[in-house]
């Protein structure tokens, strides 16, 4: 099983200067080849990865571009592969058209393959081409040699090393328990057991400090030393918020993976949900998509049900369906059986019920990280009603 482990790196001043040059060369080559491919695309021509590689070879022979030979050739070549991947995703309609990389605005990175680094497993020491031994803070022992190593520098000034390694999956003790989860904003998650997970609102709690730091940054002259210093402060505050959010989501996903063998969630259309300007900031702060991806990576069996399944409007006891249920209504009484429902708990119970029913009938269910999308809304409702009649 392949996993990506990230560790903090502490380069020396000379190494930091060399890494800055490497990041600059990678960014220069990426932007230059993106411009060349854009011009070719507008002219109706096709410039492939092989063509950009040939252009890079000719570029290195140019006396004005001799500095490209001062850094390792592997990260520069890998930037062309990343550009090729971006175009493949664009033509497959999985992403937008590739954009240019901006200096200092985003995370700088350089990817090294096996030919450009050496990792000593006994000493747990990493050596990069033309850079030397890079000091790392290893939070755990690396069990095998990495296949790729990516060195990155965040806008806050921190350096990280990301390793792709092969690890042995840990066998967990089976609990025989299943759970349905309804994700939201307040609370973040509601379990079919009736438990709720509050939303930490990391961005909301730091919004005052963040706004103050951004106001101070706006008063500085762009490009000055004070501007760069305050830009690092703002980036550092953003990074603290992201770290706190990631930590809480890791704890949530680990808890769910250890307690339950099968986890049922909704296949939410998050891109469409964040277009609601009233909820966009809260949804982005909650990071529901990241939480679901973590659960899929850690859980034994994760099943996604159809996003159009009306989990909130169905009575989990008798299967009665309401015609409409506004988002502001958090509790409602079933007009058929008189059950008083909490909106989120009822939705979680329905997610669990329809997930178990569809999984039992084998609607394309795999043993791990599966999606049940073939079931239509009518079929899901019928399954839930059958489940309700059997349980009653």
Positions marked catalytic? 182, 266, 344
| Rg, Å, the chain Cα set | 25
Q: Are 335 and 320 in contact (CB under 8 A)?
A: yes
Integer Cα distance of 268 and 249 in angstroms: 17
The two tokens of residue 328 are 């502001």
DSSP strand pairing (159-166 vs 262-266):
unpaired
Q: Are 189 and 181 in contact (CB under 8 A)?
A: yes
Q: Are 9 and 138 in contact (CB under 8 A)?
A: no
- Whether the bond between 232 and the residue before it is cis, its omega within 30 degrees of 0, is no
| Burial class (CB within 10 angstroms; exposed 0-12, middle 13-18, buried 19+) of 30 | buried
Enumerate residues 6+ apart whose C-beta is below 8 A from 46.
40
Q: Say how many residues make up the chain.
A: 392
């Amino acid at each position: 099983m392949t996993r990506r482990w990230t560790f903090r790196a502490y380069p020396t001043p000379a190494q930091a200067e060399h890494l800055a040059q490497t990041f600059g060369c990678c960014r220069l080559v990426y932007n230059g080849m993106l411009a060349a491919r854009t011009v070719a695309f507008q002219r109706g021509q096709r410039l492939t990865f092989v063509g950009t590689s040939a252009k890079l070879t000719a570029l290195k022979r140019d006396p004005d571009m001799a500095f490209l030979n001062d850094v390792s050739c592997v990260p520069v070549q890998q930037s062309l592969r990343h550009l090729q991947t971006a175009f493949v995703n664009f033509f497959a309609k999985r992403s937008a058209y590739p954009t240019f990389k901006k200096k200092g605005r985003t995370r700088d990175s350089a990817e090294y393959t096996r030919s450009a680094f050496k990792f000593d497993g006994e000493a747990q020491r990493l050596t990069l081409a033309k850079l030397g031994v890079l000091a790392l803070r290893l939070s755990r022992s690396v069990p095998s040699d990495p296949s790729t190593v990516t060195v990155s520098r965040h806008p806050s000034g921190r350096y990280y090393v990301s390793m792709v390694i092969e690890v042995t999956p840990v066998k967990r003790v089976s609990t025989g328990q299943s759970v349905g989860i309804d994700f939201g904003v307040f609370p973040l998650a509601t379990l079919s057991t009736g438990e709720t997970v509050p939303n930490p609102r990391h961005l909301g709690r730091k919004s005052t400090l963040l706004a103050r730091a951004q106001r101070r940054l706006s008063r500085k002259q762009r490009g000055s030393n004070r501007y760069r210093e305050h830009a690092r402060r703002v980036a550092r505050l953003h990074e603290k918020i992201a770290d706190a959010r990631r930590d809480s989501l890791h704890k949530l996903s680990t808890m769910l993976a250890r307690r339950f063998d099968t986890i049922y969630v909704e296949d939410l259309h998050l891109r469409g949900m964040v277009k609601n300007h009233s909820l966009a900031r809260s949804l982005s702060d909650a990071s529901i998509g990241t939480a679901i991806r973590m659960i899929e990576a850690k859980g034994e069996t994760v099943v996604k049900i159809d996003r159009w399944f009306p989990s909130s409007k169905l009575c989990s006891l008798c299967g009665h369906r309401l015609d409409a249920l506004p988002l502001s209504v958090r509790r409602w009484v079933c007009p058929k059986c008189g059950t008083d429902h909490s909106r989120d708990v009822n939705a979680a119970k329905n997610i669990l019920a329809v997930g178990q029913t569809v999984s039992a009938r084998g609607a394309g269910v795999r043993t791990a990280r599966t999606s049940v999308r073939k079931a239509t809304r009518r079929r899901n409702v019928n399954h839930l009603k059958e489940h309700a009649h059997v349980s009653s």
